[in-house]
């Protein structure tokens, strides 16, 4: 696969993307327009994340790709394979061994380190989009720091439902300035965004890149009397007994039987390796047999 | 016992193998060649070149074959290939007045220098299925005439001589490039025209149709529609002058629209413009109508709030590769988000039930 440049994109394009990333890091939470390229996978499949990863990867990097927290979902497999072919970089499923992690919809459970980069795939980068469809208007609102509409929306949620009715892509405020879309991660993951690793967000179709430098202040929007709450299913993982991880609900039979398992497959597997056994779990060796 | 789903990679490989088999179909039926698609499905090839923004009939035919005839998929293949190509430079502007016209019609004048040339059009065919075509082996020969040597001037130029149609502002500014710069608004007319010429045919058609039905009506006459080949010239830095490097087939449409006028300026006709790769006249006419609708501000018209007048709406939604990608991505797994919605809706319902139950308890006390 030497017909293409390292990590597929040509050097000029990567330079252009790196400039956008640097600008994004300099203005945390600000959406930087960039000339997104047409990638060999469809818009909506993570073309923004792929371009950011391509501009970030070096030959010495180790890449991990997750979708819904899992390394083995089809699109995670497909993107990992793409970089194996075009960049020939090492890949891993272990969070701690990865230097670059591309993700869709989750932040790994394990704390990330300063020498790691987390790349998010972003469908709609504009947190105000569903309140105001016009990009011209929303850019104006950001530049004037005019976020009243968002607070009204959250207030109306409380008036109607008694709670803020946003469970994923829950808006955050970065360093007291920009309101930012954290990508469609569950709000359970929001508190993790104040982390040691660099976080980069790529929206290919919408042609935007934004970023969070390490240890940036990220506050989930709320009200004093209705504070933000990071919620998850009130269960422990049925495989590894973890009580602190985000859980997927799996339907087991047509009588409505269900179980809860970690969405972060690496976290679950490493706990099971360490001997943790959930209510319906067995140890790993029996599973493999 | 639940075991986490594995095997995504094997599933993908098997799916690809099955897809390839389906693409080929029954192997007792002869395989399509690229040349057959290029020659016999040329209007499909033209659409793929126009919306793929790459003039290469053989590659477009290959893309159609590979995509099993799904033209949006074929356009996607061409776009993804195009973006990897190095850029050596830009051609000189093509001179459509020097076009060797296969077809040239005007709806505004009965006759004009260059004449009306019907060309290879479906316009006056009766749409009756031709069962003779099913019996293959057909060869038809059209009668030939003498080619016209003299130039075919643009019809709107005749109106221009009398000052009856607005003149376009000339500019030597290098136009922007949608594929190299992020779209920023407000955009410029060159960028709008770029977006429209590579925009989805169905979308541009429907936008144009909406203007005809009264959503920002700007009654359009087809001043001229011409289809033919034009030479492409490029200045080679080492030579210092431009040379012909090839030719492309284009469809150009100029509309003559309702006049404008004010107390200080007498009324004038206005224009809409469409230019598309290949023989693609439905698209070119649609493009001209939408172009005209988008010019409301420049021509001092009112914003009627019509979709076709809204530059942001049209430009952000005309690209079928963006649209199909985002639309179809909702079939990718979203179970993490869905799980958080499940938790939330259960919680809200629990709380609502508790609230509804409360008054009953009070009454019992």
Is B100 within 8 Å of B55 (Cβ atoms)? no
> What local confidence, expressed as pLDDT, does residue B148 receive?
79
Residue B1 has pLDDT above 50, yes or no: no
Q: Which of A15, A34, A42, A71 to mutate to test the interface with B (most CBs of B within 10 A)?
A: A42
Residue B110 has pLDDT above 70, yes or no: yes
> What local confidence, expressed as pLDDT, does residue A203 receive?
98
Q: Which of B82, B322, B339 sits opposite A205 (nearest CB)?
A: B322
Residues of A in contact with B326 (CB under 8 A): 43-44, 123, 205
Condensed to tens digits (0 to 9), the pLDDT of residues B123-136 reads 999 999 988 888 87
CA distance A58 to A61: 5
CA distance B348 to chain A (A): 7
Q: pLDDT band for position A2 (50/70/90)?
A: low
Q: pLDDT band for position B360 (50/70/90)?
A: low
Task: Provide the token pair at A108.
Answer: 């790994």
Condensed to tens digits (0 to 9), the pLDDT of residues A82-122 reads 999 999 999 999 999 999 999 999 999 999 999 999 999 99
Q: pLDDT band for position B17 (50/70/90)?
A: very high
CB–CB of A186 and B322 under 8 A? no
CA distance A181 to A178: 10
Is A51 within 8 Å of A20 (Cβ atoms)? no
Q: Which of B82, B185, B336 sits opposite A69 (nearest CB)?
A: B336
Residues 6+ apart with CB under 8 A from A101: A63, A64, A65, A66, A95, A108, A112, A116, A117, A118, A119
Please tell me whether residue B231 adopts helix, strand or coil conformation.
Answer: strand
> What local confidence, expressed as pLDDT, does residue B85 receive?
87
Is the preceding omega at residue A139 within 30 degrees of 0, hence cis? no
* ipTM for the whole complex: 0.88
Nearest to A228 by CA among A203, A201, A196, A193: A193
Could you give the percent of chain A with pLDDT greater than 70? 97
Please list the alpha-helical segments (H only) found in chain B: 8-24, 34-40, 42-52, 57-66, 71-82, 131-134, 155-161, 189-197, 201-212, 281-294, 311-317, 320-328, 335-364
> What local confidence, expressed as pLDDT, does residue A1 receive?
44
Nearest to B278 by CA among B57, B72, B85: B57
CA distance A287 to A289: 5
pTM: 0.91
Condensed to tens digits (0 to 9), the pLDDT of residues B285-338 reads 999 999 999 999 988 888 999 999 999 999 999 999 999 999 999 999 898 999
Q: Could you state, in order of their start, the residue ranges of all structural domains in chain B?
A: 9-82, 96-124+144-167+181-324, 334-364
Is B257 within 8 Å of B308 (Cβ atoms)? no
Condensed to tens digits (0 to 9), the pLDDT of residues A10-42 reads 999 999 999 999 999 999 999 999 999 999 999
CA distance B185 to A198: 30
Residue B264 has pLDDT above 90, yes or no: no
- Angle at B314 (CA atoms; ends A171, A183), nearest 5 degrees: 20
Q: What is the dihedral of CA B96, B100, B106, B109, to 10 degrees?
A: 100
Condensed to tens digits (0 to 9), the pLDDT of residues A107-166 reads 999 999 999 999 999 999 999 999 999 999 999 999 999 999 999 999 999 999 888 999
> What local confidence, expressed as pLDDT, does residue B362 receive?
53
> What local confidence, expressed as pLDDT, does residue A289 receive?
44
Chain B nearest-CA residue for A45 = B329
Q: Which of B8, B11, B182 sits opposite A34 (nearest CB)?
A: B182
Is A93 within 8 Å of A273 (Cβ atoms)? no
Residue tagged active-site, from A46, A48, A204, A237:
A237
Task: Provide the token pair at A188.
Answer: 């359970």
Please tell me whether residue B216 adopts helix, strand or coil conformation.
Answer: coil
Is A127 within 8 Å of A174 (Cβ atoms)? no
Condensed to tens digits (0 to 9), the pLDDT of residues B39-97 reads 999 999 999 999 999 999 999 999 999 999 999 999 999 999 998 888 888 899 999 99
Task: Provide the token pair at B258.
Answer: 């309702």
CA distance B79 to B56: 12
CA distance A206 to B325: 12
Nearest to B98 by CA among B292, B244, B288: B244
Chain A nearest-CA residue for B5 = A72
In this structure, the strands spanning A208-212 and A198-203 are antiparallel
> What local confidence, expressed as pLDDT, does residue B5 receive?
53
CB–CB of B4 and A205 under 8 A? no
> What local confidence, expressed as pLDDT, does residue B112 receive?
85
Q: Which of B5, B336, B352 to mutate to test the interface with A (most CBs of A within 10 A)?
A: B336
Nearest to A56 by CA among A265, A196, A218, A209: A209
Residue A51 has pLDDT above 80, yes or no: yes
Residues 6+ apart with CB under 8 A from A91: A62, A63, A64, A65, A80, A83, A84
Condensed to tens digits (0 to 9), the pLDDT of residues A171-214 reads 999 999 999 999 999 999 999 999 999 999 999 999 999 999 99
Q: pLDDT band for position B140 (50/70/90)?
A: confident
> What local confidence, expressed as pLDDT, does residue B147 receive?
82
> What local confidence, expressed as pLDDT, does residue A286 receive?
54
Burial A200-229, CB ≥16 within 10 A → b, else e: bbbbbbbbbbbbbeeebebbbbeeeeeebe
pLDDT: which is higher, B136 or A49:
A49
Using CA atoms, how far residue B15 sits from A180, B26, B328, in Å, is 38, 18, 17
Using CA atoms, how far residue B253 sits from B221, B288, B292, in Å, is 10, 6, 12
Using CA atoms, how far residue B279 sits from A32, A79, B208, B270, in Å, is 39, 38, 19, 25
CA distance A190 to A170: 8
Residue tagged active-site, from A29, A46, A48, A202:
A29
Nearest to B179 by CA among B60, B324, B319: B319
Is B254 within 8 Å of B273 (Cβ atoms)? yes
> What local confidence, expressed as pLDDT, does residue A167 receive?
93
Active site residue A268: yes
pLDDT, average across residues B239-248: 94
**What are phi and psi for residue B56, nearest 5 degrees?**
-155, 95
Residues of B in contact with A106 (CB under 8 A): 336
**What are phi and psi for residue A207, nearest 5 degrees?**
60, 50
- Name beta bridge partners: A250: A259
Residue B13 has pLDDT above 80, yes or no: yes
Please list the alpha-helical segments (H only) found in B253-329: 281-294, 311-317, 320-328
> What local confidence, expressed as pLDDT, does residue B190 receive?
95
Q: What is the mean pLDDT of chain B?
A: 91
CA distance B155 to B254: 9
**What are phi and psi for residue B206, nearest 5 degrees?**
-65, -40
Strand residue runs (E) in chain A:
32-33, 62-67, 90-91, 100-104, 117-121, 172-174, 178-180, 198-203, 208-212, 218-220, 247-251, 258-262
Condensed to tens digits (0 to 9), the pLDDT of residues A224-282 reads 999 999 988 899 999 999 999 999 999 888 888 899 999 999 999 999 999 999 998 77
């Amino acid at each position: 696969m030497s017909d293409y440049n390292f990590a597929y994109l040509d050097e000029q394009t990567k330079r252009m993307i790196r400039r956008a990333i640097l600008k994004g890091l300099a203005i945390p939470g600000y959406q930087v327009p960039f000339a997104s390229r047409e990638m060999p996978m469809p818009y909506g499949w993570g073309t923004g994340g792929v371009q950011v990863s391509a501009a970030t990867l070096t030959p010495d990097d180790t890449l991990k790709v997750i979708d819904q927290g899992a390394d083995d979902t089809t699109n995670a497999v497909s993107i990992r394979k793409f970089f194996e072919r075009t960049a020939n970089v090492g890949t891993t499923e272990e969070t701690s061994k990865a230097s670059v992690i591309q993700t869709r919809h989750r932040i790994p459970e394990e704390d990330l380190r300063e020498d790691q980069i987390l790349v998010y795939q972003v469908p709609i980068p504009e947190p105000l989009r569903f309140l105001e469809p016009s990009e011209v208007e929303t850019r104006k609102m950001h530049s004037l720091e005019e976020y009243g509409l968002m607070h009204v929306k959250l207030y109306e949620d409380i008036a109607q439902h008694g709670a803020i009715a946003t469970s994923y892509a829950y808006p955050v405020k970065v360093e007291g300035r920009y309101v930012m879309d954290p990508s469609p991660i569950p709000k359970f993951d929001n508190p993790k965004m104040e982390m040691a690793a660099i976080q980069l967000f790529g929206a290919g179709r919408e042609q935007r890149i934004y970023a969070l430098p390490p240890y940036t202040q990220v506050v989930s929007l709320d009200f004093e009397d209705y504070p933000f709450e990071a919620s998850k299913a009130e269960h422990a993982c049925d495989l590894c007994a973890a009580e602190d991880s985000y859980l997927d609900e799996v339907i087991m039979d047509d009588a409505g039987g269900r179980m809860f398992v970690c969405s972060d497959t690496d976290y679950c597997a490493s706990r099971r390796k360490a001997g943790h056994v959930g209510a319906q779990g067995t140890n790993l060796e029996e599973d493999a047999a | 016992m639940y075991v986490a789903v594995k095997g995504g990679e094997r599933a993908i490989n098997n799916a690809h193998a099955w897809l390839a088999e389906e693409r080929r179909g029954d192997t007792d039926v002869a395989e399509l060649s690229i040349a057959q698609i290029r020659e016999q499905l040329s209007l499909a090839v033209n659409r793929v070149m126009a919306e793929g923004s790459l003039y290469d009939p053989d590659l477009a035919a290959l893309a159609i074959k590979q995509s099993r005839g799904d033209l949006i998929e074929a356009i996607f293949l061409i776009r993804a290939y195009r973006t990897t190509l190095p850029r050596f430079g830009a051609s000189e502007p093509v001179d459509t007045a020097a076009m060797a016209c296969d077809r040239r019609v005007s709806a505004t004048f009965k006759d004009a220098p260059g004449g009306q040339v019907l060309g290879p059009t479906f316009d006056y065919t009766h749409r009756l299925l031709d069962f003779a075509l099913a019996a293959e082996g057909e060869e038809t020969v059209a009668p030939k005439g003498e080619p016209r040597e003299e130039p075919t001037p643009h019809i709107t130029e005749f109106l221009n001589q009398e000052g009856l149609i607005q003149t376009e502002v000339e500019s030597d500014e290098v136009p922007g490039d949608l594929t190299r710069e992020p779209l920023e608004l407000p955009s410029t007319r060159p960028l709008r025209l770029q977006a429209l010429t590579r925009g989805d045919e169905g979308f541009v058609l429907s936008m144009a149709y909406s203007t005809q039905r009264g959503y920002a009506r700007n009654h359009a006459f087809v001043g001229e529609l011409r289809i033919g080949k034009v030479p492409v010239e490029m200045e080679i830095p080492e030579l210092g002058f431009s040379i012909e490097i090839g030719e492309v087939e284009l469809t150009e449409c100029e509309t003559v629209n309702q006049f404008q006028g004010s107390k200080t300026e007498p009324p004038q006709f206005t224009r809409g413009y469409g230019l598309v790769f290949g023989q693609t006249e439905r698209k070119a006419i649609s493009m001209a109508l939408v172009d005209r609708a988008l010019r409301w501000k420049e021509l001092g018209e009112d914003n009627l709030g019509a979709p076709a007048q809204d530059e942001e709406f049209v430009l952000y939604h005309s690209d079928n590769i963006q649209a199909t990608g985002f639309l179809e991505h909702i079939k990718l797994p979203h179970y993490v988000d869905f799980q958080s919605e499940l938790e939330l809706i259960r919680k809200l319902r629990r709380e609502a039930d508790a609230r509804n139950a409360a008054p009953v308890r009070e009454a019992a006390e």
